Amino acid sequence: MSGSWRDTLFVWEGSLASFNDLENVDDTQPQPADAKDKIPAILWKGSWVGCEDCPDARDATKPSILEFSHSEMLFEVSTSKNSAPLETKDPSMPAYKYNMTGGSGWDLV
């Protein structure tokens, strides 16, 4: 063991859920009446496991589902108010850019 936290690979596992929430609409910008329906908010929650002595992620062994279920390191993050749609070639397949830094557990505290 090198003794450095930098040699720990943090592996995250969780589920994504979309929802429409008025708190995710930026009130400082003009919004179309149906804006909250066009840009779904995202919630990602689950747990993470640290794989020690792994300075190269290519050498990591993926933690088992059991390790994730027993982990006390939980996170729940949601999108920020400045989520934005992205242009796509196929309008029937919308894409969005999200900043997910709100919530608990994401900053390893």
pLDDT digits (tens, 9 = 90+) for 49-102: 988 888 788 888 889 999 999 999 999 888 765 567 788 888 788 777 777 767
Number of independent structural domains in the chain? 1
Q: Give the β-pairing of 74-78 and 84-86.
A: unpaired
- Would you state the pLDDT for residue 109? 59
Residue 107 resides in a domain: no
Q: Has residue 59 been placed in a domain?
A: yes
Q: Which amino acid is at 30?
A: P
Angstrom distance (rounded) from CA 62 to CA 91? 36
Q: What is the pLDDT of residue 12?
A: 92
Q: What domain range includes position 27?
A: 5-99
Residue 25 within a domain: yes
DSSP reduced 3-state for 23: helix
